[in-house]
Structure 1
Amino acid sequence: MPGTLGLARSAFRGRQWRDAAAGFERAASELATSGDALSPADLDALGRSYALMGRIDDAAAALARAHEGHAARGDLLAAADTAGWLTLFLATHGRHSAAAGWSARTNQILDRLDGPTPQHVLGMLPTAIMRLYTEGGGAAEPALQRAVALAEPLGDDEILAIARLGLSHAWVGMGRFDDALRLLDDVIAVALANLAGPVASGVLFCGAIEICELALDLSRAREWTRALDHWCGAQPSLISFTGECEMHRSFFYQLHGEWDEALETARAAQALYQQGNVNAGFGGFYAEAEICRLRGDAPGAEAAYARAHACGWDPLPGLALLRLDQGRPAEAQELLRGTAIRTNDAYARALLPAVVEVELAAGDPAAARDAARELAEVAASHATPWSLALAAAARARVLEHDDAAAAHESARRAFALWSEIGGVYEAARCLALQARICLALGETARAGAAFASARAVFEGLGAGPALAELAALGLPERPADGAAPAGRTPSSVPAPGALSPRELEVLRYMSAGLSNRELGRRLFVSERTIARHVGSILAKLGVASRTAAAAYAYEHGLASGQN
């Protein structure tokens, strides 16, 4: 018997969740023959193993038994701790009624104990976090501030990090971006240093990436998505959190114009959703719907948006943009104006670029200007390449019919920013906008050049609706001299002898010995794109091999900066 339990406990410490669960199950069966049972601590480990394998009902049952066992032994602090984690687990998996019941039980126990303790802070968090999602950052901030203040002197890194994660999210919603991201850096340091348990670490990684995306901080989001990918990869039987990782990877593939890879990772997230990773459902289906929409597959997009909606969140702005593509701007407007998402400050901000386009198409330029103004205010207070790109593109669209020259300058600026980010499709859309504006200004040659470059990218991506919109301009189909080849952004065509920022990044990783496959996974692009970058680097440096390129990088101080 000690051998079976010992192996189970060892597997749990080694994060081998399937082996741990199977071991505890065998131990429980063996103990039952003598009328004994697993200890509360072992039941807690079994419940966490189930949770990490995506077995939600089994996890809840095991954790409930662990709680009862602690309470029966008179260890009320341990009982409150298990009940608090069970509450958080249920709340984050959509079991809100059950979570409310366990929250009440947790706090009933804590009311009998002197505090504050980490468990008192844990007992506060589920209610505060649910308020954060339903009412927004301003409503939840006071409770989260209090949770952080109580946790700071207690020395529990895990609980403090989760409280700070919630407060960071609230601050992003309130527009306190710099404060939020400084706090978030402390949060992610806890996960990276393995100072939190596996369930908490997954919550910290996934929550931090979501907050970075809401804060329009692409650099942090990409870095921490890599970290989450590495963390998930080290736990072969992990199901929970792996789907969220695939969701975020799909976003970056889509951004970089790698739509086949984006679709593949979206479907991987869906498969993990089917295996119990419930938080991967919405993002997995929404990501597939977006690729279908951009490619002109309206039935596929409709079906995937419907699956996303069934996961409990409005599939916006994508569904509204599909209605716009279908020539139904009034319906698109109704979807965006009627969604409950607009009541949550952080998530409402993510709708603003689509609001600009939809309101313009629906004939309400004043509403479009208001949305563009909000984006400009975000960019002014939190100037990241992403926020600046969104604001510049929105400004170009609202100015297009009032001040074409200023609109063209904003579109040019947006194109440069999207190119810097690596946003292939969005950069090409800015070129298409420039072509339309140049036509209005009577500058046919400039319009033709922008048209040809945008068209080449849209063709390479298979972006049917964008191509149809471009064709409506009536410009010649023949590409202008110097137009970008299909499938590449014009900005990715390198100037002779000079490495682009992305090529420098590839060279640094090459110098560290990463293969094309490893590079592609790290940079969220396909192996064929990496191969193209490598070929360009070798040609520009005038060297014949990756080894020679690495040597050149070290000799010229270009090999530093890998992250």
Structure 2
Amino acid sequence: MADLTGARAALDGGDWAGALTLLPVPAPGAVLSADEWEARARAAYGAGEFEHAMSAWEALYALQRQQGDDDAAGFTAATVALHLLVDSGLMATVRGWVSRAEALVGARPDGPAHALLAMVRTYERFLSGDPEGARIHAAQAVDLGSRLGVLPALVLGQVATARLMLHDGDLEAGLAQLDEVALRLTSGEVDPFTTGMMYCELVCAAQNLGLHDRARDWTQMMEQWRHGRAFGGIHGRCRVHRAELLRISGPVSMAEDEALAACAELRPWMRRELGWPLVELGIIRLRRGDLEGAEAAFLEAHDHAWSPQPWLALLRLEQGDLATASAMVDEAVANPPDLPWKERPPFGDLRMVPLLEAQAEIAAASGDLPGLQSAVAGLAQVAVRVGSG
């Protein structure tokens, strides 16, 4: 029997599957209220039923449109866009839902939907390689979050602004702002979904800069927080970060275990971005000498429209195919993959570092002195530009 009050209590306690059993089933002919659809979407998302959650939010949106509640429908459309942005990497679909939300609330007085839209627009631009657009929307998110008391928008805007500072080369100010956000996250005042997202952003920022000690500290904070609080794909994201750090510090066998577990945990949520843990798994296997396993992981990432370069090129090097390795890495350097990757967003000099490092390694192995000199010069230029920003 449906029990919305009991379902909400289960949601508050993190019992996602239990909440689903207390909500009406959306069978043909069944009529659910807006509150029931909203609770069902949250419960399904927490239980790892991503498609079910999206369907519930879409049904809620349709119901709100039918009822003429444009403010609520705009907020729901922005919610769908946010979850697709976080988990799918399908940017065209994200933009479609943003357009729906803006059509409903764009001309209305500022409200929570506008703050949520600023959040989505910030990272849609960030992950699409438009840092200046991201900067504008991040400022809007901070402003709306502050004025309207929408803490997720405020925090996300601050993190995005800090990350843009880092990409501009202002490391001191950017890291200081991220440290401030980290302290706020530990206070418990930010909701679990936003907290998990922002912890992941902190670690991604540190990994992008090669600040492994800081990444380890923030990963430990994320690890301590997630038990009993995190939901959705946050557990799996935390595992990917642990796998990355273990690959660097060892033992590498534990890194592979974490990467495998991360892939298993994230499959229910991620779509295109599943390529991220798959590539990490491939890198770890490559380091362990498991060339067949590395190839399987890299090719599966490619099947998810996620580029496995430059590590697939390094795999070809290990397999003795120098010509293919050189061609692959040269193409990747000339045309860097535009991935919606939170760790290495598709703009700025830092995304070139692993590509140029691989190009240098392959050129050295091939006896290509001009190629080696070019790659080393490219790395030196990145160091100068980032360090003097």
Q: What TM-score do the two structures reach when normalised by structure 2? A: 0.84
Partner residue in 1 for 2:185: 191
CA contact (8 A) 1:285 1:307 kept: yes
| Structure 2 Cα separation of the partners of residues 326 and 221 of structure 1 | 32
How far 1:289 moved relative to its partner? 1.5
CA contact (8 A) 1:81 1:119 kept: yes
CA contact (8 A) 1:250 1:263 kept: yes
Partner residue in 2 for 1:373: 380
By relative contact order (CA 8 Å, sep 6+), the higher-ranking structure is 2
* Shift in CA distance, 245/329, structure 1 to aligned 2, threshold 3 Å: same
How far 1:103 moved relative to its partner? 0.9
CA contact (8 A) 1:84 1:106 kept: yes
Q: Which runs of 5+ in 2 are unaligned?
A: 339-345
How far 1:105 moved relative to its partner? 1.0
CA contact (8 A) 1:47 1:58 kept: yes
Partner residue in 1 for 2:84: 90
| Structure 1 Cα separation of the partners of residues 46 and 167 of structure 2 | 29
- Deviation per CA, 1:320-346, whole angstroms, max 9, x where unpaired? 222333344443343233233386224
Q: How does 1:127-142 map to 2 (within 5 A)?
A: 127-138=121-132, 140-142=134-136
Partner residue in 2 for 1:357: 361
What RMSD over aligned residues (CA atoms) do the two structures have, in Å?
2.9
| Structure 2 Cα separation of the partners of residues 108 and 134 of structure 1 | 22
1:336 counterpart = 2:339: no
How far 1:379 moved relative to its partner? 7.6
Partner residue in 2 for 1:155: 149
Amino acid in the other structure paired with 2:103? Q
Whichever of the two has the greater Rg, that structure is: 1
Partner residue in 1 for 2:113: 119
% same residue = 25
| Structure 1 Cα separation of the partners of residues 200 and 137 of structure 2 | 22
Q: What TM-score do the two structures reach when normalised by structure 1? A: 0.60
| Structure 1 Cα separation of the partners of residues 66 and 358 of structure 2 | 55
1:310 counterpart = 2:309: no
Amino acid in the other structure paired with 2:154? L
CA contact (8 A) 1:357 1:368 kept: no
* Shift in CA distance, 87/275, structure 1 to aligned 2, threshold 3 Å: closer
* Shift in CA distance, 352/189, structure 1 to aligned 2, threshold 3 Å: farther
* Shift in CA distance, 376/80, structure 1 to aligned 2, threshold 3 Å: same
CA contact (8 A) 1:243 1:280 kept: no
CA contact (8 A) 1:148 1:164 kept: yes
| Structure 2 Cα separation of the partners of residues 11 and 233 of structure 1 | 17
Q: Which runs of 5+ in 1 are unaligned?
A: 383-563
1:247 counterpart = 2:240: yes
| Structure 2 Cα separation of the partners of residues 149 and 352 of structure 1 | 39
| Structure 1 Cα separation of the partners of residues 318 and 31 of structure 2 | 65
Q: How does 1:30-429 map to 2 (within 5 A)?
A: 37-38=32-33, 40-92=34-86, 93-115=88-110, 117-138=111-132, 140-234=134-228, 238-278=231-271, 281-339=274-332, 340-341=336-337, 344-345=347-348, 346-361=350-365, 362-363=368-369, 364-374=371-381, 376-377=383-384, 380=387
**Matched residues, number:** 374
How far 1:264 moved relative to its partner? 0.8
SS in 2 for 1:113: coil
How far 1:278 moved relative to its partner? 4.2
246-255 vs 310-319, which deviates more?
310-319
* Shift in CA distance, 52/378, structure 1 to aligned 2, threshold 3 Å: farther
